Chain A
Amino acid sequence: MISFILQHAPALCLATPLLFAFLTPLADKAGSRVRKAFVFLGILLTALTVFTLAQNVILQGARVYTMGASSPALTLPSGMTLPVRIILEIDAFSALMASLALLVAFFAVVYSFRFMKGNSLGKFYSLFFVMLAGLIGLVFTGDLFTLFVFFEILSISSVALVAYWYKRKKSVEAAFKYLLISSVASLCLLFSIGLLYGEYGLLNIAALAASMRLSFVTMVALGLLLAAFSMKAGAAPMHYWLPDAYGEAPTPITVMLGIATLSSLYALLRVLFTLFGSFSLLPVAGWVLICLGVVSMFVGVTMALKQDDIKRLIAYTAVSQAGFIFVGVGVGLATINSPALFSAFGENALKGGLFHLVNHGIYEALLFFSAGAVIYATGKRRLSSLSGLARKMPFTTVFFLVGAMAIAGIPPMNGFASKILIYESVYRFNPLLTVLALVVSVLTAVPFVKAFSSAFLGPEMAEFKKTKEVPMGMLLGMAVLAVIAVLFGLLPGLVVETIIAPAVNALASQAAYVGVVL
């Protein structure tokens, strides 16, 4: 039984959330208790399958799953020289990304049990599971067209979830913007897939990577892919949808949108490192990422300074933190063609970038959970109308403080550990970038000092006399994420060695990815 599950885990990771997505409305008919139990079972099963698979992949190396083949490992059936079937390929980087997604999604579900109120929650969880299937598929897929399909599944379900409170006009407006940017991004993606198919007659990422050559059409496709994924990853100047969508979505969905944004970043890295990994022009692409990163860092943090809405403030700093990831992986990409530079500092920059990606996923979720707790308890989201909540909500205060310290890169939090790795390695590539990153990191503390002092410190207001700490279910997720944030900050060496280094190796060695399929 266990070996059967392990053998078919990649397919089960997709099948489980889809099954629960379409059965949840049925469970909803039996009342809210049954629905909660059912949804909890669904997310638990999905999370366990993904974690088991991820552990297996990190210990034993990348693996493939061929859909519809007599044996999942049979990528080239009946004497074919090129793969024609839909193939899922999971390496250490996809395993890392999927585990992060499921960790956050699990607590988002637990959080939503108390946070979300109303009668039609069956639909909410249905869409949530569809979104989860889109996320996992996007991360696990081994061919470009399936990537497009999962990208669209993810976009459509997350747009519907942003507009879940459709009676609030701002939610609908944010959803419309998000849908517009997602559709343009996915049409760019589809167009570039068409170009690549016309040029090479292939859709499988590994097979395409093996036959990639420098040509005009390929360059156009690369440019379109870069534009499509960085749009969805919220890089400035195409970030404007992000604070709207993050700010107006229900909080559990805001947290999931953060993960969706990071998974677009995953797709971008997968395409750049794996698909175009043998290109001599990668340093140019690396510099594009670095420039996007620097612009995002500054735009995000300066816009965050003047926000009054607590969730929009966090969303803008999320744009700025994504800039750090872009800079880290950009330096890795710019040096990947020269082994000496790559082993000297490029690899560390890439490690820093991916470590920051994981940390960002964790503290961003923590911050949004605590902001959501404040909104849940007080019904207010403007910092100017909040005050003195530390006495009423001590746990939320502590968790928000942990998240704020992590995002500002203050030791001993995880944000510090990954930022220091980025500073050190990027300094040897170009000292100016480190200086810019340090300035932004210091600036990041400012909006959080403002948010913390105006919401949690200060005199107690009469209207918050009856405000209480949020229920256990909501605190649980925050507590676990806060503990992880501190642990990752205290034991960075161990974390980097066990989970980040395999992902970096998987990303940097294109031949290994190709070899598993061909």
Chain B
Amino acid sequence: MELIPFLGAALLFGIGLFALVFKRNLIKIAMGLSIIDSGVNLFLIALGYRSNGIAPIFTTAPVSNAQAAATMVLPAPQALTLTSIVIGLAVSALMLSLAVLLFKHYGSADARKIRGLRE
């Protein structure tokens, strides 16, 4: 059971990579990137997970340090994931706005038709 989140993360990573490599639509490329991002985030969260653990909040922590270490979910990966989600949002927003601009310029969201730099 512990393995399921990691398998999920690997699956998301694979789906995203597939979209990135084989899809030609700019929006789908942006989606692929977003999916990889989710996969990595899931991986980070799964790293710090303890089954039947408790939230890492100071006031609810058990008295002894050993007990706390055994039952509390690790806080650092959660902090990392939060940061990474925010960054991921910025990247998605920027990428989609560039896709919109490209669509305006070229009249298509197909990467094969966007060849201004290859002429």
Contact = CB atoms under 8 A, between A and B. Distances in A.
A191 B43 contact: yes
A156 B102 contact: no
A172 B43 contact: no
Contact of B94 (A145, A169, A174, A179): A179
Contacts of A159: 94, 98
Nearest to A163: B98
A187 B37 contact: yes
B116 A169 contact: yes
Interface in A159-211: 159-160, 163, 166, 169-170, 172-176, 179-180, 183-184, 187, 190-191, 193-194, 197-198, 203
A149 interface: yes
Interface in B36-80: 36-37, 40, 43-44, 47, 76-77, 80
A172 B29 contact: no
B15 interface: no
A193 B43 CA distance: 11
Interface residues of A, number: 31
A145 B90 CA distance: 17
B11 interface: no
A348 B20 CA distance: 42
B95 interface: yes
Contacts of B37: 183, 187
Interface in B85-106: 87, 90-91, 94-95, 98-99, 101-102, 105-106
A197 B91 contact: no
A254 B44 CA distance: 35
Given A149-B83, A194-B43, A197-B47, A176 B95 contact: yes
Contacts of A184: 20, 33, 36
Given A184-B33, A197-B77, A172 B40 contact: no
A244 interface: yes
A242 B69 CA distance: 47
Contacts of B13: 191
Contact of B102 (A176, A191, A198): A176
Contacts of B116: 169-170, 173
Greatest chain A CB density within 10 A among B77, B84, B95 is at B84
Given A172-B102, A184-B33, A179 B83 contact: no
Contacts of B106: 169
Contacts of A163: 98, 101
B33 A183 contact: yes
Contacts of A180: 20, 29, 33, 95
Contacts of B84: 148, 190
A172 B102 CA distance: 7
A172 B47 contact: no
A487 B98 CA distance: 43
Interface string A140-165: 00000100110010001001100100
Given A159-B94, A170-B116, A194-B44, A176 B99 contact: yes
Interface of B: 13, 20, 26, 29, 33, 36-37, 40, 43-44, 47, 76-77, 80, 83-84, 87, 90-91, 94-95, 98-99, 101-102, 105-106, 114, 116-117
29 contacts: A148-B84, A152-B91, A156-B90, A159-B98, A170-B116, A172-B98, A172-B102, A172-B105, A173-B114, A173-B116, A176-B26, A176-B99, A176-B102, A179-B91, A179-B98, A180-B20, A180-B29, A183-B33, A183-B37, A187-B40, A190-B40, A190-B44, A190-B84, A191-B13, A191-B40, A194-B44, A194-B80, A197-B44, A247-B117
User: Which A-B residue pairs are the 9 nearest by beta carbons?
Assistant: A169-B105, A172-B101, A170-B116, A176-B98, A198-B47, A152-B87, A194-B44, A169-B116, A191-B40
Interface of A: 145, 148-149, 152, 156, 159-160, 163, 166, 169-170, 172-176, 179-180, 183-184, 187, 190-191, 193-194, 197-198, 203, 244, 247-248
